[in-house]
Amino acid sequence: MKPGYITGHLDTPSGAIPLVSTTWRVKDIIDTIKVRWSVGRMNYRVQPGLYAVGSPRDSSPVFVTANFKLTFDHVRRALGGIDGWLLVLDTRGINVWCAAGKGTFSTSELARQIGLASLEKVVSHRKVIVPQLGAVGVSAHEVKQQTGFAVIYGPVLAADIPAFIDAGYKATRDMRKVKFPFSERMKLVPVELANPGYYLLLVPALFLLLSGLNRHGYSIDLALSGGLRSLINLLVAYVAGCAVTPALLPWIPFRRFALKGLAVGWCAAVLLSLFHLLGSNPLEAVSWFLIMGGLSSFTAMTFTGTSTFTSLSGVQKEMKTALPVQIGMAAAGILFWLFSKFIIL
Amino acid sequence: MNGLIYLSNVVTLDLDPEKCTGCRMCTIVCPHEVFVVENRKARIVQKDRCMECGACEKNCPDQAISVRSGVGCASGIINGLLRGTEPTCDCGSSGCC
Ligand code: SF4
Ligand code: SF4
């Protein structure tokens, strides 16, 4: 079936090129939401190759992008009112940034697609515009050597493409900088939240089950009342690490993500204790501080993967100390929590 | 968000001014303004902002830059540890890593 974003074809010296629409339809909006919430991630690929936008001529610019549908959608929307060519690389449905890091958005893939499309027959100039983040995988001078096409690095964000064109194909300092504003961080939170998959059910279920244990054996009532409390505490710690820490990132002291997460997790635990949610038994309260601190710290640390300013060396350094501490805290916390069910303090 | 800087003095970025011809490519590809070029020589000005993405090394036509590039991603490092490989950012095909 022909995807909805293709509206026709354009005849060129290298054959018929599909013409894409620059507006989003309802399905595109639904796709975007589904991808953010990790529903059926695998199906959002665009057929690689050359596409036409508007009524391009042989002098029109060529924009290079990845075949992740969301990326493709943003680029074609940004090209509204512009006549140009869109060269989609086969990045196996991954965005430019990640694909460049993995080596699928690369010099060789760009050279291959330029060749497959016989780009030299379609356009008279010898330039391709590559999104700046693609520079992680693409080497401009090597592309030039291999294909004769010069790489111009465009803006980081597709939305800046019109301004980039207006400025005479120059990305301003601002367009080249990767920023990580609140809105951007929040967009990534759903993926973070959904990341652990079935653990999200397994761990709470275990806590619910074990909550029924007490000195006298097992109590269903306790499993429900104490279990509910456990679930709230776990959920709060999880949200503290996965959502609150990313949201407040620049304002939380400490550079290490693990410490940021720990601070937020403990603040949340203090709040919960005000509502007597950590239990009346001091040992249980301590156990919750350990569990919640460890969990929030760990989940906050995984946000390093999503953030746009953490280096591999830095994360490795941070993890070397943080990971054992987090595991130790969680393990000790769970032990204390189990003990607290049998001991009256 | 200018305030976001990660740990100090950890990155592996290195520049050999001898080899540099001042083409400015590194200032174009770096997403964190780590370099400036003055008097036809590049200089590292904000080393702690480097995220080790490797774009500068890859696009320097004179091989003046070296950096151990990789994903600054805790899950990726854990993945690597578990499988005994380099850190890999195994984010499936989601929009982020
Ligand atoms: S890209 Fe290389 S040669 Fe060009 S200015 Fe930077 S360091 Fe110098
Ligand atoms: S590795 Fe990336 S962030 Fe670091 S200096 Fe080079 S281009 Fe800039």
DSSP string, A132-181: GGGGGT--HHHHHHHHSPEEEEE-SSGGGHHHHHHTTS---HHHHS----
Q: Is there a contact between B91 and A35 if contact means CB atoms under 8 Å apart?
A: no
Determine whether the shortest distance from the Cβ of B64 to ligand 1 is under 6 A: yes
Cβ pairs A/B, distance under 8 A: 165
Which numbered atom of ligand 2 lies nearest the CA of B57? Answer: 6
Our measurement of the distance from residue A65's CA atom to the centroid of its chain's CA atoms, rounded to an integer in Å, reads 18
Comparing alpha-carbon positions, the chain B residue that sits nearest to A145 is B61
- Please check whether residue A333 is in contact with residue A284, taking contact to mean a CB–CB distance below 8 angstroms: no
Q: Considering A141, A176, A211, which residue would you say is the last residue of a domain? A: A176
State the CATH number of the domain containing residue B39: 3.30.70.20
Interface pTM (ipTM) of the complex?
A: 0.82
Whether residue A218 sits in one domain with residue A81 = no
**Range scoring the smallest mean pLDDT among A224-238, A272-286, A303-317, B70-84:** B70-84
- Identity of the residue in A94, A135, A302 whose CB atom sits nearest the CB atom of B74: A302
| Kind of pairing between the strands at A217-218 and A213-214 | antiparallel
Count the residues in chain B. 97
What span, in angstroms and rounded, lies between the C-alpha atoms of A178 and A47? 28
Kindly state whether residue A59 falls inside one of the protein's structural domains.
yes
- Find the domain containing B53 and state its range: 14-87
CB pair distance less than 8 Å for A311 and B54? no
Residues A166 and A199 both lie in one domain: no
* pLDDT band at A26; cut points 50, 70, 90: confident
Pair type for strands A127-131 and A150-154: parallel
Nearest to B29 by CA among A134, A158, A169: A134
Residue A32 located in a structural domain: yes
Phi (first) and psi of residue A45, to 5 degrees: -110, 150
Domain boundary among A142, A176, A210: A176
Name the token pair of A128. Answer: 């391709």
What is A78-107 written as a DSSP string? HTTT--EEEEEE--SS--HHHHHHHTSSSH
- Evaluate whether residue B1 is within a structural domain: no
The answer to whether residues A74 and A170 belong to one domain is yes
Nearest atom in ligand 1 to B63's CA: 2
pLDDT at A17 over 50: yes
Q: What are phi and psi of A324, to 5 degrees?
A: -60, -40
Same domain for A214 and A110, yes or no, is no
- In chain A, the N- to C-terminal Cα span, in Å, equals 68
Asked if residue A126 and residue A105 are part of one domain, the reply reads yes
Q: Mean per-residue pLDDT for A177-199?
A: 78
Q: What pLDDT was estimated at residue A32?
A: 74
Residue B5 domain flag: no
Is residue B57 scored above 50 in pLDDT? yes
Classify residue B83: in a domain, yes or no.
yes
Q: What's the rounded Cα separation, in Å, for the pair B52 and B66?
A: 10
Residues A155 and A218 in one domain: no
Contact A258, A300 (CB under 8 A): yes
Are A311 and B6 inside 8 Å of each other by CB? yes
| Interval A96-139: pLDDT, tens | 888 888 889 999 999 999 999 999 999 999 999 999 989 999 99
The Å distance, Cα A239 to ligand 2 centre, comes to: 32
Which of A13-17, A18-22, A281-285, B73-77 shows the lowest mean pLDDT across its residues? Answer: B73-77
Q: What is the pLDDT of residue B95?
A: 38
Mutate to test the pocket of ligand 1, among B38, B43, B65, B67 (most ligand atoms within 8 A of CB): B65
| Radius of gyration in angstroms for the set of CA atoms belonging to chain A, rounded to a whole number | 26
Please check whether residues A87 and A212 belong to one and the same domain. no
B53 domain-assigned: yes
> Is A181 in Cβ contact with B52 (below 8 Å)?
no
In sequence order, which residues have a C-beta less than 8 Å from that of residue A30 and are 6 or more positions away?
none
Q: Which of A152, A176, A200 lies at the terminal end of a domain, its last residue?
A: A176
Average pLDDT over residues A147-157: 94
Give residue B40 CA to ligand 2 midpoint distance, Å.
Answer: 19
Question: A314–B87: do the CB atoms touch at under 8 Å?
Answer: no
Q: What band does A239 get if pLDDT is binned at 50, 70 and 90? A: very high
Give A317's contacts (C-beta < 8 A, 6+ positions apart): B7, B10
Q: How many domains does chain B have?
A: 1
How many domains does one find in chain A? 2
- Which of A35, A302, A314 comes nearest B95 by C-beta? A35
First to last CA, chain B: 20
Q: How far apart are CA A262 and CA A343, in angstroms?
A: 28
pLDDT single digits (tens) A263-289: 999 999 999 999 888 887 889 999 999
Owning domain of residue A274: 182-343
Domain contains B73: yes
Is A309's CB within 8 Å of B49's CB? Answer: yes
Nearest ligand (C-alpha, residue B23): 1
Q: Please, which pLDDT band fits residue B97 given cuts at 50, 70 and 90? A: very low
Say what percent of chain B tops pLDDT 90: 47
Q: Are residues A171 and A294 in the same domain?
A: no
Judged against a pLDDT cut of 50, whether residue B94 lies above it is answered with no
Instruction: Check CB contact under 8 Å for A250 and B11.
Output: no
Let me know whether A161 and A12 are in one domain: yes
- Ligand in nearest proximity to the CA of B11: 2
pTM: 0.80
Q: Which of A212-216, A297-301, B21-25 has the lowest mean pLDDT?
A: A212-216
CA distance to partner chain B, nearest, from residue A14 (Å): 30
**Predicted pLDDT at A294:** 94
| A112 located within any domain | yes
> What gap in Å lies between CA A259 and CA A265, rounded to an integer?
10
Which CATH number fits the domain that encloses residue A147?
3.40.50.11600
Verify that A277 and A189 share a domain, yes or no: yes
Do A200 and A305 lie in one domain? The reply is: yes
Instruction: Report the separation in Å between the CA atom of B31 and the middle of ligand 2, taken as the mean of its atom positions.
Output: 7
Domain-embedded: residue B95: no
**For A197, left (φ over 0), alpha (ψ -120 to 50), or beta?**
left
Spatial distance between the Cα atoms of A297 and A231, rounded to a whole number of angstroms: 18
In this structure, are residues A77 and A23 in contact, taking their beta carbons and an 8 Å threshold? yes
* A215 and A326 inside one domain: yes
Does some domain include residue B75?
A: yes
Residues near ligand 2 with C-beta < 6 Å?
Answer: B 13, 29-32, 34, 50-56, 67
What b-and-e string marks burial along A236-273, b requiring 16 or more CB atoms within 10 Å of the CB?
bbbbbbbbbbbeebeebeebbbbbbbbbbbbebbeebe
A1 falls within a domain: no
Nearest to A310 among B25, B33, B51 (CB): B51
Atom of ligand 1 nearest to the CA of B24: 5
Do the domain assignments include residue A312? yes
CB within 8 Å: B73 and A305 = yes
| Closest among A330, A341, A207 to A261, alpha carbons compared | A330
Cα–Cα dist A215/A261, whole Å: 34
Compute the nearest-CA separation of B48 from chain A (Å): 9
- CB-CB: which of A41, A156, A250 is closest to B1? A250
Chain B residues with CB inside 8 Å of A138's CB?
58-59
B29 inside domain: yes
